[in-house]
Amino acid sequence: MNAFNQYLEDHAADFEAELCEFLRIPSVSADAACKPQMDRAAQWVAERFRRLDFPVVEVIPTAGHPLVFAQSPTVPGAPTILVYGHYDVQPVDPLDQWTTPPFEPTVRDGKLFARGATDDKGQLLTHVKSAEAWIRTAGKLPLNLKYMIEGEEEIGSAGLEEFLKPNSKRLKCNCVVISDGCQFAPGVPAITYGLRGIAYFELRLTGPNRDLHSGSFGGSVTNPANALAQILAGLIDRHGKIKIPGFYRRVLPLSDRERSELAALPFDEQEYQRQLGVDGTFGEEGYTSLERRWARPTFDVCGLWSGFQGEGAKTVLPANAGAKISFRLVPNQKPEQVADGLRKQIAKLCPPGITWELTDLHGAPGVVVALDSPYVEAAARAIESAFGRRPVFTREGGSIPIVVRFAQVLKTTPLLIGWGQDDDNAHSPNEKFSLADFHRGIKASAKLWEELSKIKM
């Protein structure tokens, strides 16, 4: 591994510069105005594989943003690994809360700040640079790599979903490697065996046919903003239980063994509160913070609007109100069933004088994967060699919608090895990625190719 380590050392600055170039492309999948940037980002990714002389490099159009598919030269008899990642990023607002602009990557205190730094451009690039290091030092990779890098993860992966079934042969692999998540804590790397699912909706309420004087009319007609508050408050009780018929029916309970394993992780409740700047935590009664975040379903309002938002006071009874709401799901809940139950509950809670409309924006079930596989063992060894510590086993509260579909359609297990940190500000202002984690990620990935290549097919 000597020439190899030398290569990583000699090219560390190049790798960082390349990541910065990637981060300068504002590939916000949710923003229609970014469409040309989405194509640019896809081409940028494809170009990495062309430079490595991969025999297959394709930018595949979809109804939404393009997919990038690439394949390394065939190594007969060796395992085939699919690397999944996403080049799309979340919107940047509130923009005024960024210390430096989101698409002008800046290093402060060993951390690279930019939208997409950790989620997922920095993390996905580790698996490209590791392949580069192999090719430039050993002349070739020790196994077969396929890459599927998409541009719609942050908006539900519709294009990849369409592509998956008819192209399952091309994506056929022994295991899917994904770095799009977090370590447990700084210096405590993790292998993730569970992700939550999601069911995301937009709720729109309409009341009177126009905004009204709140003095002249207030108290005589239902105010949609008041109604919205009532409905939302009626979806969860003060014990943190979600009030939707049948919501918990299929929830896979935590086993005693898993509960004690989670309890044994080095998690400090006080430190958690301090980190988030809150003076107390809240969640479903009877569960710890880690259980609530990783293994229990939740309801959150992600956005809320109605009435007057300007400076000072305006006495108005608004004609409309709306909210974006999400439920995080755990195995074996189904997003469609949540949607049905939610409609019933809103119908029950909605006061007279209001019409409502619920739009289902996206959904995906949660997933838990088995840990007793040679792939997990290989990953544990690779991580240990790069991070100097054996990984702990965690679940995550976030969702990667396509993971379940990979399991169902490709019949393979995902290997979730996130290089990020919980406080990397994914989806928030000042997103960042530790450069040390970036380089350790590259090293771990390179070692992973070696470890996986030893698995007998």
Selection from Zn ion, ligand BES, none that 102 binds (CB < 5 to 8 A by kind) is none
Question: In the complex with ligand BES, which residue's Cβ is closer, 198 or 382?
Answer: 198
CA distance 363 to 401: 8
Selection from Zn ion, ligand BES, none that 291 binds (CB < 5 to 8 A by kind) is none
Selection from Zn ion, ligand BES, none that 422 binds (CB < 5 to 8 A by kind) is none
Among 88, 119, 152, 424, binds Zn ion (CB under 5 A): 119
**Residue 150 engages Zn ion in binding (rule: CB under 5 A):** no
CA distance 365 to 334: 6
Selection from ligand BES, Zn ion, none that 405 binds (CB < 5 to 8 A by kind) is none
Selection from ligand BES, Zn ion, none that 88 binds (CB < 5 to 8 A by kind) is none
Question: In the complex with Zn ion, which residue's Cβ is closer, 118 or 226?
Answer: 118
For the bound state, the minimum distance from the C-beta of residue 53 to ligand BES, rounded and expressed in Å, comes to 30
Question: In the complex with ligand BES, which residue's Cβ is closer, 80 or 326?
Answer: 326
For the bound state, the minimum distance from the C-beta of residue 275 to ligand BES, rounded and expressed in Å, comes to 15
Selection from Zn ion, ligand BES, none that 177 binds (CB < 5 to 8 A by kind) is none
Is 16 labeled as catalytic in the residue annotation? no
Name residues whose C-beta falls within 8 Å of residue 250's C-beta, 6 or more positions apart in sequence.
332, 333, 334, 337
Selection from ligand BES, Zn ion, none that 150 binds (CB < 5 to 8 A by kind) is none
Question: In the complex with ligand BES, which residue's Cβ is closer, 182 or 382?
Answer: 182
For the bound state, the minimum distance from the C-beta of residue 361 to ligand BES, rounded and expressed in Å, comes to 9
Is 88 labeled as catalytic in the residue annotation? yes
Scanning 47-55, 117-125, 290-298, 437-445 for contacts with Zn ion by CB under 5 A, the matching segment is 117-125
For the bound state, the minimum distance from the C-beta of residue 427 to Zn ion, rounded and expressed in Å, comes to 9
Residue 321: which region, alpha, beta or left (left: phi > 0; alpha: psi -120 to 50)? beta
Question: In the complex with ligand BES, which residue's Cβ is closer, 119 or 431?
Answer: 119
The catalytic position among 16, 88, 180, 396 is: 88
Selection from ligand BES, Zn ion, none that 401 binds (CB < 5 to 8 A by kind) is ligand BES
Interacting positions 171-190 with Zn ion (CB under 5 A): 180
For the bound state, the minimum distance from the C-beta of residue 90 to Zn ion, rounded and expressed in Å, comes to 8
**Residue 152 engages Zn ion in binding (rule: CB under 5 A):** no
CA distance 395 to 258: 11
Scanning 6-14, 115-123, 207-215, 262-270 for contacts with Zn ion by CB under 5 A, the matching segment is 115-123
Question: In the complex with Zn ion, which residue's Cβ is closer, 250 or 427?
Answer: 427
Question: In the complex with Zn ion, which residue's Cβ is closer, 180 or 424?
Answer: 180
CA distance 411 to 82: 12
For the bound state, the minimum distance from the C-beta of residue 119 to ligand BES, rounded and expressed in Å, comes to 5
Query: How many other CB atoms sit within 10 Å of the CB of residue 292?
Result: 20
For the bound state, the minimum distance from the C-beta of residue 335 to ligand BES, rounded and expressed in Å, comes to 10
Residues that bind ligand BES (CB under 6 A): 119-120, 153-154, 156, 180-182, 198, 362, 396, 398-401, 418
The catalytic position among 16, 132, 150, 153 is: 153
For the bound state, the minimum distance from the C-beta of residue 396 to Zn ion, rounded and expressed in Å, comes to 11
- Interaction site with Zn ion (CB under 5 A): 119-120, 180
Catalytically active residues are 88, 153
